Structure 1
Amino acid sequence: MDCTGHNSPPGNHTALVEFILIGFSDVPHIHGFLFGVFLIIYVFILTGNSLIIIITKVDSSLHSPMYFFLRNFSFLEICFVSVTVPRLLTDLCRQYGNISFPACAIQMYFFLILGDTECFILTAMAYDRYVAICNPLLYPVIMNDTVCIQLALVCWTTAIPVHIGFISVVFTSTFCGCNHLNHFFCDAPPVVQLICGDAFMVEVLLYGLAALITSIPSFLILRSYMKIVSAILKLPSAIGRAKAFSTCCSHLMVVTLFFGSAIIVYLRSMTNHLTGMDKFLSLFYTIFIPMLNPIIYCLRNKDVMVALEKFLQKSIVL
């Protein structure tokens, strides 16, 4: 069904009061299976990221800027998936996905804020690795507690005023005609596609913000890692080079997965209506990547694994 509102001819339409999330309605016979899979993934994300938060807080050997930002990142991932997954699970149970305008606006607002915050925290983590490897002697001075807290506050608050304005623009526009969103949550591209008449300026605002918020962190991360690689290659010891690379590898994997899938989704939605592939890519960066993050950061980090083992041993004893 073509539900692209701004492609509909203008006329006397009834104003919409809710959207219908199509989600996975084309495969109703596997809703039970999908519910089980997403529920297991959600519980794993909550448990895995909560463990990272706890062990980086209680283990004194992990009281460093790197793990401070990892703790922020893990908390962010819990918030990020909680914006979409509980709603998705509810819709899979009740077999339909109607959502009111206010609920849709709130979901989109927090999804966009937390998505942008993830970009910023990944950038802060790259800067931390840059200082640690390129300026190791000054690292404790540059990345002191005050600086870390200030960086974290900037990451968490920067997107808040930006998206208040964007959400206001989107939801003060007129929606009419078809109210079906070809998605499993209120993401910005499919909602903008349902605006009546000429939505060109709203689309320009959407993709301008998306380009700005992804390109600046991407550039800063790339610049940091170019300097990191240059510094690592100058190290005289092969063991030292391997250790330095290993501390950056987990972060690079997460950056590549998150930015790659998110950019592909938004670039595709600029020229195409959302398809099954777009929903799969959205699932990838909204659910599957947060599931992979605890695995990536734990299995590839010996310090975290040792701290986790000690924590679990103490928990079992208690």
Structure 2
Amino acid sequence: MTSHAPHTILCIGSALWDVIGRAASHMRQGSDVPGRITRLPGGVALNIAMTLAQFEMRPVLLSAVGRDAEGDELVAACTSRGLVMDHIYRSEDLPTDVYMAVEGANGLIAAIADAHSLEAAGARILAPLRDGTLGSADAPYTGTVALDGNLTTTLLEEIAKDPAFARADLRIAPASPGKAERLRSFLLQRRGMLYVNLEEAGLLCHQSFDDSAAAAAALVKLGAARALVTDGGSPASDASPDGVIQQMPPEVLVTRVTGAGDTFMAAHMAAEQRGTDRQEALTSALQVAADYVSGETPL
């Protein structure tokens, strides 16, 4: 069956625990400073889903979560936040994934993403889209899908060609610059809207760009159905075959960075689900992201 409630968005990718250490001081390699350490539900797909829920969307998560205490706690936390967790793949022998990051006043210092269980689960997380639960090759899912690049290159290549995704409004994020090139298959198949930063756009295009407008236009020329490129406090750009629009984000004091891109993408998707035009959707997403990165983080 392919029917879905209004504003239902499938979120496919990582769901894990974020362990984030934040300090108010500038940091460098070897720094040992006081700060705060938090543990929250995270992962690109899950961050997107949680933000969508705040905008009264109905996020349905497709991911891998272990049948361990951490996994039970994660599922309960997500359910309480309004996420639909009925279709996640729960493994008996794979632990729940975890992401660890350290942030200072000068931004992200270092991070490690342990998403081995998601990678090991592979195509099993996509079963509901292939067995008729949410869709199939003969009756593809017709709603919006948020896809994150934490999946393996092989699985992403499968998705780019999979008839079960042929009619979906596919929105794609690379998860990190180190995983940006995993998304090249979507350019080759001329499928999906990409949400990337300037560095990620350069890696995908194998060239450097001076601004987001040039990067977004280049991604569309290479095959993206649409591309939205951010560049920190510099203008962000939304390119499609109809042209490029560009806006300056609000000026704010940055107090946190982990999850900012996911929040931006979710806010943009939610705005378009509500029927706003490209200009208004970009304005809304930039404001939500600015509010997020400037949010109070007691240290």
Please report the TM-score for the alignment, with normalisation by the length of structure 2: 0.24
Structure number with higher strand proportion: 2
Radius of gyration: which is bigger? 1
TM-score by length of 1: 0.23
Task: Pick 1 or 2: higher relative contact order, CA cutoff 8 A, min separation 6.
Answer: 1
